[in-house]
Structure 1
Amino acid sequence: MQPDLECVNLTRRFGDTVAVDNVSFEVPRGSFFSILGPSGCGKTTIMRMIAGFLEPSAGDILIRGGSVIDTPPNKRPVNMVFQHLALFPMMNIADNIGYGLRRAGMPRAEIATKVEQALERIGLPGIGERKINELSGGQKQRVAIARCMVLEPDVLLLDEPLGALDLKLRERMKVELKALQAAFDTTFVYITHDQSEALVMSDDIAVMNEGRFEQVGSGQDLYYRPDTAFVAGFVGDTNRWAGRIERTEGDGIELRTDSGMLMRGAAHGRVLSAGDRAEIFVRPEAIRIAHSAEELSHFDNQMTGRVGSILFNGAASRIIVQDSSGNGEIEVNLPQSGEFSTLTRGSEVQIGWSGAQGNCFAAAVS
């Protein structure tokens, strides 16, 4: 099936600065696609080019197979939800949603029907006469989406729309946005710097850094099978050690960290050699905690440490272990069994993990 959106060798320069550097990707019809990256990486520039607010320096943008490079923003089959929503406070809900339809000259009766259908789809039937300031933050978010969706765009662009919401509402809206995308069966392209938003909602995610895509894939791919050190460090929480490789055997490596500890990891198909500078990334949930070293004898990485901090967060609680050899702090997830709930700061613990869980990458050359 032809993709809803295709960007081909997309480039944007601002003077001598390359904000987007030869980026190509496709977004399948009816999918939820996110572009995830830190501030200033170029993700909003891509969205503004798709919307037509910026002209590419090079490359092409196709929507359902047709180039829109020469099409003005108001003629493109896309619509956009901004972070601050831009709802009209002087209009009621129905007039906000029907605004674009009135601009398009649609008959009043048909507008009323479409508006009520949109309200049904966003779970707010029968409230068209209410004022915008009578709505909660989450309801305003849904109205902003409905205002875009009544225009039946091929692609809906969302520019960090949850950024202005409080934490609890943001968590709920992640689930609601995904449900709305499925209800409207429209392609969503979502811009965010929040990895949790991207992981929860997206079918596919592009991780962007310094104008380029580092990796495109599912949330599981990015989290468990990162292609680059940047993706490994940016997506999810992780422990990170730098050092020099002493030995390789098949996919396994031994790395002497800069603080002197010998650590085992895995190259996972990457070409690494003895003598190379490298980094190892280990997820907190991959590290096991025990009362004695014997319990961890099956792990090829083990150490003794003391609890430096306890980060209580219910089932997601963690401890920060300070290694007795001076190798820094290590984040470790606490088991949900509650077996270690009596740990206090300064308690001695044993930790261990499998070398296969240590994702190893060549260190960036500075």
Structure 2
Amino acid sequence: MTTVNDLDCINLTKRFAETLAVDDVTFSVPRGSFFSILGPSGCGKTTIMRMIAGFLDPTSGDIQIKGHSVLETPPNRRPVNMVFQHLALFPMMNIEENIGYGLRRQGLKKREIEAKVGDALERIGLPGIGKRQVDQLSGGQKQRVAIARCMVLEPDVLLLDEPLGALDLKLREHMKVELKSLQAAFDTTFVYITHDQSEALVMSDQVAVMNAGRFEQLDTASNLYYAPKTPFVAGFVGDSNRWEGLVESVDGRAISVRTSTGLSLRGVSQVPLAKGDMAQIFLRPEAIRIARAAAGVAGQDNSAVGTVENVLFNGANSRVLLAVPTGGTIDVALPQSGEFADLSRGNTLHIGWGAAQSLCFGVA
């Protein structure tokens, strides 16, 4: 039996005059999944979403929902709905009226609208607030009402265009969990675009990292973080130390690189490299072992000694910046044990890490 996806974008391309905004992008979103497109501003992610919604026509390619092309279907007749960054709730309407607006436009009877709105309020965890005005809600409550207003129309696909961008940091963190729960409660396919990697990684079943109109990698959050396939993904997803240097030796995928600052590093090549090639190396701060004496990092493939340049305290995500004579500044994650809580500028530390943690790519 053939499985039909909720959304298929096939060789999707969009050109604005001389600008190629979306370049031959193909992807599928299975039913009931949370799919995110992650990328910097101007990479083309919003253009893809606007084509799916029907606000833009593709230059070429096809968009299919449940196996049927929607290219000739106007936006108001496509089985999709969209939540924008600015939620656009109607201030002159109460919550029930806001959520039921689309249902009234469809001509449903009052009793049926009331039942659907009541069910939606239960699902978003806000029963009994239907008579309140929009300005009586918190930012998170408004977010949930905006989603409910879309979901009562029972779209096959819900499009979310950076919906958390206008919220403060604390509320954004809370709404990441809320959105994932809402998606499960409504059992609807979510297609989410964002430039915030933490939003995409926390919530998504699959994430497409986009750059300059193309997908660099479409994968699980875990694979994007631990097994990036391109230098762009390695540098964009998560934090990394990065060096460039000359490949001095190659043994299968194991390579040695001499950086431009004179640091000798052993790593693992993610692409074919040969002696004499220029390489770039990415290393996660949390992959580095830290010690007060050389014995604490003995046996590591790579090691260095440095001077504390700065300590960046951020609870469990605290970092220390080490000035290494032959390697510039290295960003190192501090252990959560608190044993380095007394670090201060000028302290000497030893660091080490395995070759497998040094991900090596070629330099274009």
Sort the TM-score into its range (normalised by shorter chain). over 0.9
Q: Distance in 2 between matches of 1:244 and 1:158?
A: 44
Which whole-Å deviations, capped at 9, do the CAs of 1:226-263 have from their partners, x for residues lacking one? 00000000000010001111111121110110111111
Unaligned runs of 5+ in 2: none
Report the equivalent of 2:193.
191
Report the equivalent of 2:292.
291
1:32, distance to aligned residue in structure 2 (A): 0.2
Letter in 2 for 1:63: I
The yes-or-no answer on 1:353 pairing with 2:348 is: no
Q: Distance in 1 between matches of 2:22 and 2:317?
A: 37
Report the equivalent of 2:316.
315
Q: Distance in 1 between matches of 2:320 and 2:275?
A: 33
Letter in 2 for 1:305: G
Q: Which runs of 4+ in 1 moved over 4 A?
A: none
Q: Distance in 1 between matches of 2:28 and 2:287?
A: 33
Report the equivalent of 2:305.
304
The yes-or-no answer on 1:341 pairing with 2:345 is: no
Report the equivalent of 2:141.
139
Q: Distance in 1 between matches of 2:133 and 2:199?
A: 29
Q: Where does 1:213-224 land on structure 2 (aligned, <5 Å)?
A: 213-224=215-226
Q: Distance in 2 between matches of 1:70 and 1:109?
A: 34
Report the equivalent of 1:180.
182
TM-score for both structures, normalised by structure 2 = 0.99
Letter in 2 for 1:321: L
Letter in 2 for 1:86: A
Q: Distance in 1 between matches of 2:115 and 2:212?
A: 46
Report the equivalent of 1:233.
235
Letter in 1 for 2:22: V
1:324, distance to aligned residue in structure 2 (A): 2.3
SS at match of 1:259: coil
SS at match of 1:315: helix
Which whole-Å deviations, capped at 9, do the CAs of 1:333-358 have from their partners, x for residues lacking one? 11111111111011110011111100
Report the equivalent of 2:19.
17
Q: Distance in 1 between matches of 2:202 and 2:43?
A: 21
SS at match of 1:124: coil
SS at match of 2:244: strand
Report the equivalent of 1:85.
87
Report the equivalent of 1:332.
332
Report the equivalent of 2:154.
152
SS at match of 2:255: strand
Q: How many residues align?
A: 362
Q: Distance in 2 between matches of 1:328 and 1:210?
A: 30
1:22, distance to aligned residue in structure 2 (A): 0.2
TM-score for both structures, normalised by structure 1 = 0.98
**Which residue, 54, 57, 82 being the options, matches 1:55?**
57
SS at match of 1:70: coil
SS at match of 2:120: helix
Report the equivalent of 2:269.
267
> Which shifted more, 316-325 or 24-33?
316-325
Unaligned runs of 5+ in 1: none
Q: Distance in 2 between matches of 1:59 and 1:328?
A: 47
**Which residue, 9, 12, 20 being the options, matches 1:7?**
9
Letter in 2 for 1:353: W
SS at match of 1:254: strand
Which whole-Å deviations, capped at 9, do the CAs of 1:131-184 have from their partners, x for residues lacking one? 000000000000000000000000000000000000000000000000000000
Letter in 1 for 2:154: E
Q: Distance in 1 between matches of 2:187 and 2:235?
A: 33
Q: Distance in 2 between matches of 1:358 and 1:85?
A: 43
Q: Distance in 1 between matches of 2:183 and 2:37?
A: 16
**Which residue, 89, 98, 101 being the options, matches 1:99?**
101
